[in-house]
Every structure is written in structure tokens, then in C-alpha cells.
Chain A
Amino acid sequence: MRRRLREKGNAFVIPAIFWVLTFTIFPLVYSFRVSLSKVLYGKLAGFAGASNYLRMFGDYRFWGTLRFTLILVLISVCATTAIGLGLAVVFNRKMKGLRVFRSILTMPLFTAPVALGYLGVMMFYEENGPINVLLKYLGMGKVPWLSHPLWATLAICLVDIWQWTPFAFIILLAGLQSISDEIYEAAVIDTSSGWAIFRHITLPLLSPVLGTVIMLRMVDAFKAFDIPFSLTSGGPGTATRTLTFYIYTQGLRNFDLGYASAMAYFLLAITMVIGLLFFRRYRELYE
């Protein structure tokens, strides 16, 4: 009887296995095969060995896009986490209009990144765009937001931070609210310093949540595509072209699928390493 039930139970797993095989394992294996092939007009045109992988090392555009991606990851993850944490601390108290503020703050998160990118085109417009007009009133000069490599990098980072700070804010606020008031009440007996309480009580207790936020943001930032695509088209030159953007261009515009797959595997490896490091740290903390 028990055996029959177990067999019946196994049958229920079959759709899930089918799903994973079809939509995860097969594309993964197939794209690996493609990464080892020469591809012309979407058709496999012979075995290419590791040449697509080796090509990455000699491709300065690959390194350029990787460098920009790393800059974006670093700036965006640090800024979204720091600002998100600051806002979460501020809003983690009883105050009037709290719900309204929270709702307004989270709005950019529910906007399509590509739409934010196009909105950014208007905001950062150099000739009389709202940001430059504001800077002009403040007595500052015209900033070449979209036409200078450094400023364009900053513009991309700002839009990305604008979109993703609410994500960090929501998660970290939930984390803060899960910390018991009793711990704070006990801490107040020992010290009156808010910073000391934050440093020795809040931060350690929040660190698992903080780690989750940082990991998810990093993985997401490594895949950034829509905002550079719509805001700067990756320019000037390739100054704001992310690795995902480059993979897209090579794979879907130039149909160089072999090389695009090889680069996609490289990106996969980076995100997997981040994930593994995170879960290892997670285990160390909780086991």
C-alpha cells in the first residue's frame, strides 16, 4: 500500500521533471553545443572547438563591456543597498502617512526598465532637459550626460539606482521589522548611542537579509540590459555597453550565436560563483 502510494507520488513529479528538462537542461546543453560551433545565419556550420571561448580573451570589446558591467555592478549594488538601508531605517517607525510614502517609494520598481531608460533620455537631455535646467538654476554648467563617456556611465548608474533602491528598501524594511523590540529595549539599558545599537544589534541581525539583497542585486546588475539599451544605446562608442547588451548584439543582431553563447556561459559562471559564495556564507552563518 505504502509502495503504491510512493509510486503514485513519483508520478506527480514527472511534469516538474519534464519542465526542468525541456526549459532548463535542454537549452543549457544546446547552447553549450552552440558555443562550441561556428554559426552562420543561425545554422551550425561546423565544430569550432574552444575558439569562441578563446576569442573572448583577444576581444577588447568584450573586456570593455565587462569592465563597464563591473563598474555598474559595484556602483549600483553599493548605492541601492546603502540608500535602501537608510530609507528602511527611517521608515521603520510609526509615523503619519507611512503607507503613502512607502507606496510612492516603491513605484519605480514596478516600472519597465526600458521605459525608465526612455524617461532618462528626457530627464538627461542636455539641451534644456529638466536636470540640466535645474543645474543651471543652481549656477552650475551644462553636464554632458549622454555625450561624454563618464557622465553617460553616471547617468546609467543613476537610473539603475533609481529603479532598484525600492527593492532593497522593501526587503530590508521587512528584515528590520522582524527584529524583536525586546532586543532594542535590552540594548538601551547598556548604551544610549543610536550608532552603537545599529552597529552591534541591527546590522548583525539584519546581515542575512542584507546578504540576500546584495546577492540578488549583483546577479541582476550583471544582467543589466534595458536601461543602457534605451538610454544611451551603449554609447558613446561602447562606453556604456554591458556584457548582456554585447551578447544580445552578437547573438540576435549579428547572428554570431557561437560567440554569443560562449560569452553567455562566461556570464553564467560569474553569477554562479556569486551564488555559490553567498550560499556558502549563508551555511556558515546558520549551521
Chain B
Amino acid sequence: MGWRKSLVLLISVVFVLGFVFGALAQEGASELEIQTANAAFEAADKGNPDPAWKGQKLTIAVYSAGPRGAISGPLYFWRPYFEKLTGATYDIVEIPFGELREKIFTDLMTGTGTYDIIVGPSWFYGDYIMNDWIVPAQEFFNDPRMPKWEPESIALPVRELYMWGDKLVGFNNDHDGQVIYYRRDILSDPKWQEEFKKEKGKDMPTPPWTWEEVYEICDFFNGKDWNGDGEPDYGISMHLKVGGQGFFHFMALSAPYVVSPAPGDNPAKVTRYHNVYWFDPETMEPLVNTPGFVEALNMLIKLSKTGPSAMFGWSLGEAWDAFLRGKAVMCWSWGDVGSLAQLPDRSSIKGRLGVAPIPGSDKYYDLETKQWVNKKNFVANTVGASWHGVISKYCKNKELAAYFLSWQATPQINHWNVVWGWTGVDPGTSYDFLQPSGKATIEEYVATGYDAEDARQFVTAYEEMWTKYPLRQTYLRIPGTPEMWEVYDIHLSEAVTGQVSPEEALNRIAEEWKAIVERYGKDTLKKIYQEAIGYKPE
């Protein structure tokens, strides 16, 4: 055999093996997953699929995490069921996180229409709405062909992300928000509690309810060998690399220092000075350099000193790993940590996880009186993406797209995605929350590999934050949001790495945000901002 033939043969073998392993990777589901998915499929409403859809194909854009990865994974998993149901199919286009905006917006700006469905982040909404790029979910809600799903089951702060005004625009899927995770076994250990009392002169607050308490605990544990591996361990674990989504940490942390309750009967009412976080809704002046933010950034910097210095170069995965491998006593993050903690190949802390709603602050800055108020303040957050599907206005078969997304949004399918943590779909509906206030049972979580107490704390923390916290942080949904967040990310990184002072970093953010607002048009943005946060000028 000549060398050319050998080369061709070798390449062919490599290709064949590639396809075989690729196919196997997609079929990595366990028997239990298949059984429970079949049950969910049978139980879910299927509407009345139109026979005309047979043989048609959709294209779905989603952030790239692979066939068993977060958010993109369920699309691969449910595709055969969708094909069985409708006779139609879909292609999945995975886009790296950093390229989502350029790929998706270019497609929409040019009207190319490559993507029929975009499973994207909520921070794209300002641009979607301003340019009329998407078809609202509301238009299909009462179509008899569509499977029935329950928007009212979604916790209110998250539901608001799926809506624009009183109109439903996105289809239920993921529910993001940050809560605090800690080592239940360590914080409840009498030996450590005693040492804490000796060192700090007070009882260890378990769980911590304010950022000041979080700092005290992390400061106490940082540098001590509390996991018994012979090496000093850390207090906190964060991801603070530019582009590593670290700014979400700051969003969640700063909210209770910045968001103040409205006077009167309804503390959650959005006024010019209350329950606002991003801009003054009357002037579009950024609030990011007000004293509340400065105080919060100082706290973030203080906290960052209770973890490894490498955190400044860490992305999500590395920060989660430090906590999941038992090197950090605490972290605050999305629901992914709760589910990843249950996976034996990723975590050594299953059965030792403590979860509490996001901490509050001991004081907050009142933007109206320009005074600090020394009172505890708790603010629920929906920071993150809450990845969910929207239909592009250039979609060639909008009804088929709506059918797919409605079917995925049904309680049975959505809840299946939530209980199987690898999907990256986080809990946030009444059917994810535990009985008696919710509809789920602890057994549903245990059946998929959760430790019962871990699951109880995990799901309850989210439920408490979204249903019991008096205030909630508004979400930025105006044109230019991704650009504003990039600016936020960069300058926060400058502050935490000591390149500039916290005040200077926040002033830089404010200046750049002002320029972005001017570029997009202040009046246009003001109108959209007011709509997005539910502010009504008086």
C-alpha cells in the first residue's frame, strides 16, 4: 500500500471514530434520565402539532457548552422527542459566550435570519425591543396548537424578565439569581464555632445574613486548614477575571447597599429614588458612583482578600471548582453550584452543602435624602442570564418555533430540566419549590442524585429570596446593556486588582455609561429604561 493510500485510510479511520465517539457523547444519558424524561414527555401537554410542520427544520442559536453542557445540553437531549412529536427537527448552533452578541446581533441587524430561535440572555432585551427583532410569546399563547405552560408559576422577579410591560415576550426556561453557598459541616462544627467565638468575640452567624457577616466568616477561615488536607484553605471563592462574569458578583453584593425601599404601603414600588439601581429614571444619570456602590465595592475588595489571589484571573469554572473541591468555605453564585455539588466527579462536598438567600446589608444609602440609613436591607436579585428562548422576527416558521419553545416551557419538561442539574436550568417556579408552599417533593430531587438536605436548602434558598424578600433589584434591559456591562466588568477588575481606587473605577464606569447613553440617544433610552423597570413618572 502506498503512503497516499495509508494516509487516506488513516484520515478515514479518524473521521469514523470521531463520528462514533460524537454519537456516543450525545447518548451519555443514564437509564434513569431516559425513564424520567419519558415520563415527563408523556405527562407534558403536547398541544396539537400541525401536520404541515412535518419535514420542516428550525435553527436554534445557543451559548456553547456542548451536548451535555449547561443550557445547550437540553436542546440536544429533547431533539428526538421533538422529532417524534412533530416530524420536524432543528439544528443547534453553539456560539461561544464571548461571541454571542456579535453573532446574534449581526444576524438580526442584517436581517439574514440564520437563527429562528435564540436561546439567549435576558440582557439582550433592550436591543431586541428597540429594534423590534423578536416576536412576543404572547402572540402564540392562546393558539390551540401550542402546548400549555404556566407563566404565573414562575417566581415574580424572574417572570418579569420574561415580560415587557404586561406582555409575555420570552418562553420559560432558566431562572437565574445568586444565593450564598457555604460549608454546612464546617460552619456548624462546634470546634470551629468555639474558635470563632474566641477570635471574633461573638457567635458564628450560621447562615450569614449580611455581607458583614459573610466577611467575618471568610476572614476567620481564610488561611486555616479547616478541611484537614495539611494546607491552608480559603474563605471565599470568586471569579474576577475580565470576561469571567465576575461583575455579577458585584451586582448581587451591591444591591442591598444601593436599592432602598419606597416609603408608604408598598416598599417595592419603583420611584425616582427607590428600588432603582442603574440610572436615575428621570435623567438617565448613572447611579453607579453613588455612595452605596462605593461602600459595596469596598466590601467586595475586602472580601476578595479572604480568598486566593488567583481569583482575579479566574472564570466561573475555576471559582466553582475551588468551592466544590472543598478549598473555599463559601461562594455566592447561581443555581449551578447547588446541582454541581451533587456530582461525584465534580464535587467532594455532597451532603455538606449549606445554602441561604443572598445576604443583605446593615445599612443602605437613600438616594432621596442622600443619607445612610442604618437598617438591615434585603434585596432579591435575578442577576445572570436566565437563558431562555425568543423567536426571531426573521424566523420562517414562527408557529413551529413557538410550539417547540412552549413545549419546553411546560411544567413537566421544564421541571425535568431543573432536577437534572447538568442541564444548567436553575429552579425558579412553584413546581420546582418544595411542598407545602411549592409543588415539588424532595424525593424528585433525591431520585436524580441530590442529597436530601442539600436539595432542601438549595431550593428553599431560592424560594425565600424570590418570594419573601421585600425588595428586588431591577434588571438592566436597555439598548447597549452588553456594552455597559463590559465597561462595568473592566473597571471593577481595575479596582479589585488595585490599579485604581474604588471611587475612580466607579467614576470611570459612570462616565462611559453616560457616553453610551448619549450615543444611543438619551430620550430613547429613558423611555425604554422606564418601561423595563416599571417606573411611571408622576
Interface residues of A (CB under 8 A from B): 38, 40-43, 125-127, 142, 144-149, 152, 232-239, 249, 252-256
Q: How far is the CA of A144 from the CA of B310 in the complex (A)?
A: 7
Q: How far is the CA of A197 from the CA of B490 in the complex (A)?
A: 52
Whether A236 and B312, one on each chain, are in contact in the complex, defined by CB atoms closer than 8 angstroms, is yes
Name the segment of B239-247, B437-445, B467-475 touching the other chain.
B239-247
Q: How far is the CA of A4 from the CA of B486 in the complex (A)?
A: 62
Q: Which residue of chain A has the shortest Cβ distance to B322 in the bound complex?
A: A127
B26, CB-defined interface residue at 8 Å:
no
15 contacts between A and B (CB under 8 A): A40-B519, A41-B131, A42-B106, A42-B109, A146-B241, A233-B244, A234-B242, A234-B490, A235-B490, A236-B497, A237-B494, A239-B499, A253-B482, A254-B482, A256-B519
| Shortest beta-carbon distance from B348 to chain A in Å | 16
Whether B499 and A149, one on each chain, are in contact in the complex, defined by CB atoms closer than 8 angstroms, is yes
Whether A40 and B110, one on each chain, are in contact in the complex, defined by CB atoms closer than 8 angstroms, is no
* Chain A residues with CB below 8 A from B499, complex form: 149, 236-237, 239
Q: How far is the CA of A42 from the CA of B133 in the complex (A)?
A: 14
Interface centre among A148, A252, A253 (most CB of B within 10 A): A253
B225, CB-defined interface residue at 8 Å:
no
Q: Which of A38, A125, A144, A236 contacts B242 (CB 8 A)?
A: A236
* Chain A residues with CB below 8 A from B482, complex form: 253-254
Among residues 489 to 512 in chain B, which have CB atoms less than 8 Å away from a CB atom of chain A?
490-491, 493-494, 496-497, 499-500
* Chain B residues with CB below 8 A from A238, complex form: 242, 490, 494
| Shortest beta-carbon distance from B187 to chain A in Å | 24
Q: How far is the CA of A38 from the CA of B98 in the complex (A)?
A: 25
Q: Which of A146, A233, A255, A256 contacts B105 (CB 8 A)?
A: A255
| Shortest beta-carbon distance from B300 to chain A in Å | 14
Q: Which of A40, A41, A144, A252 contacts B102 (CB 8 A)?
A: A252
Whether B308 and A126, one on each chain, are in contact in the complex, defined by CB atoms closer than 8 angstroms, is yes
Which label, helix, strand, loop or mixed, suits the secondary structure of the A interface? loop
Q: Which of B101, B242, B322, B480 contacts A233 (CB 8 A)?
A: B242
> How many of B's residues come within 8 Å of A, CB to CB?
35
With known contacts A126-B308, A126-B313, A249-B486, A148–B497 Cβ distance under 8 A: yes
Q: How far is the CA of A127 from the CA of B151 in the complex (A)?
A: 44
With known contacts A41-B131, A145-B313, A127–B308 Cβ distance under 8 A: yes
Which label, helix, strand, loop or mixed, suits the secondary structure of the B interface? helix
With known contacts A233-B243, A252-B102, A253-B101, A127–B310 Cβ distance under 8 A: yes
| Shortest beta-carbon distance from B536 to chain A in Å | 28
Q: How far is the CA of A254 from the CA of B490 in the complex (A)?
A: 14
Q: Which residue of chain A has the shortest Cβ distance to B505 in the bound complex?
A: A237
Among residues 103 to 130 in chain B, which have CB atoms less than 8 Å away from a CB atom of chain A?
105-106, 109-110, 127
Q: How far is the CA of A254 from the CA of B322 in the complex (A)?
A: 33
* Chain B residues with CB below 8 A from A127, complex form: 308, 310, 322
Among residues 90 to 106 in chain B, which have CB atoms less than 8 Å away from a CB atom of chain A?
98, 101-102, 105-106
* Chain A residues with CB below 8 A from B242, complex form: 232-238
With known contacts A144-B309, A147-B311, A255–B241 Cβ distance under 8 A: no
B15, CB-defined interface residue at 8 Å:
no
B520, CB-defined interface residue at 8 Å:
yes
Q: How far is the CA of A234 from the CA of B499 in the complex (A)?
A: 14
| Shortest beta-carbon distance from A55 to chain B in Å | 9
B483, CB-defined interface residue at 8 Å:
yes
Whether A149 and B497, one on each chain, are in contact in the complex, defined by CB atoms closer than 8 angstroms, is yes
Q: Which of A126, A149, A249, A252 contacts B310 (CB 8 A)?
A: A126
* Chain A residues with CB below 8 A from B519, complex form: 38, 40, 256
Whether A42 and B312, one on each chain, are in contact in the complex, defined by CB atoms closer than 8 angstroms, is no
Q: How far is the CA of A232 from the CA of B242 in the complex (A)?
A: 8
Q: A40-B520, A146-B312 are in contact. List 8 more A-B contacts (CB 8 A).
A: A127-B322, A144-B309, A148-B309, A233-B243, A235-B490, A236-B497, A237-B497, A253-B482
Q: Which residue of chain A has the shortest Cβ distance to B131 in the bound complex?
A: A41
| Shortest beta-carbon distance from A167 to chain B in Å | 28
* Chain A residues with CB below 8 A from B493, complex form: 235-237
What 1/0 flags go to B291-319 for Cβ under 8 Å of A?
Answer: 00000000000000000111111000000
Whether B491 and A237, one on each chain, are in contact in the complex, defined by CB atoms closer than 8 angstroms, is yes
Whether B486 and A253, one on each chain, are in contact in the complex, defined by CB atoms closer than 8 angstroms, is yes
| Shortest beta-carbon distance from A211 to chain B in Å | 37
* Chain B residues with CB below 8 A from A145, complex form: 313
With known contacts A41-B131, A234-B242, A236-B494, A147–B310 Cβ distance under 8 A: yes
Whether A232 and B313, one on each chain, are in contact in the complex, defined by CB atoms closer than 8 angstroms, is yes
Q: Which residue of chain B has the shortest Cβ distance to A55 in the bound complex?
A: B515
Q: How far is the CA of A236 from the CA of B494 in the complex (A)?
A: 6
* Chain A residues with CB below 8 A from B312, complex form: 144, 146-148, 236
Q: Which residue of chain A has the shortest Cβ distance to B130 in the bound complex?
A: A41
Q: Which of B241, B311, B480 contacts A235 (CB 8 A)?
A: B241
Q: How far is the CA of A214 from the CA of B87 in the complex (A)?
A: 61
* Chain B residues with CB below 8 A from A40, complex form: 519-520
Q: How far is the CA of A256 from the CA of B244 in the complex (A)?
A: 23
What 1/0 flags go to B302-343 for Cβ under 8 Å of A?
Answer: 000000111111000000001000000000000000000000
Q: How far is the CA of A149 from the CA of B241 in the complex (A)?
A: 12
* Chain B residues with CB below 8 A from A235, complex form: 241-243, 313, 490, 493, 497
| Shortest beta-carbon distance from A154 to chain B in Å | 13
Q: How far is the CA of A152 from the CA of B241 in the complex (A)?
A: 12
Whether B105 and A236, one on each chain, are in contact in the complex, defined by CB atoms closer than 8 angstroms, is no
* Chain B residues with CB below 8 A from A239, complex form: 497, 499
* Chain B residues with CB below 8 A from A232, complex form: 241-242, 313
Interface centre among B110, B241, B490 (most CB of A within 10 A): B490
Q: Which residue of chain B has the shortest Cβ distance to A239 in the bound complex?
A: B499
* Chain A residues with CB below 8 A from B520, complex form: 40
Q: How far is the CA of A41 from the CA of B480 in the complex (A)?
A: 10
* Chain B residues with CB below 8 A from A142, complex form: 309
* Chain A residues with CB below 8 A from B98, complex form: 233
With known contacts A41-B109, A236-B312, A253–B102 Cβ distance under 8 A: yes
- Nearest first, the 6 A-B pairs at minimum CB distance are A235-B242, A146-B313, A147-B312, A237-B494, A233-B243, A126-B310
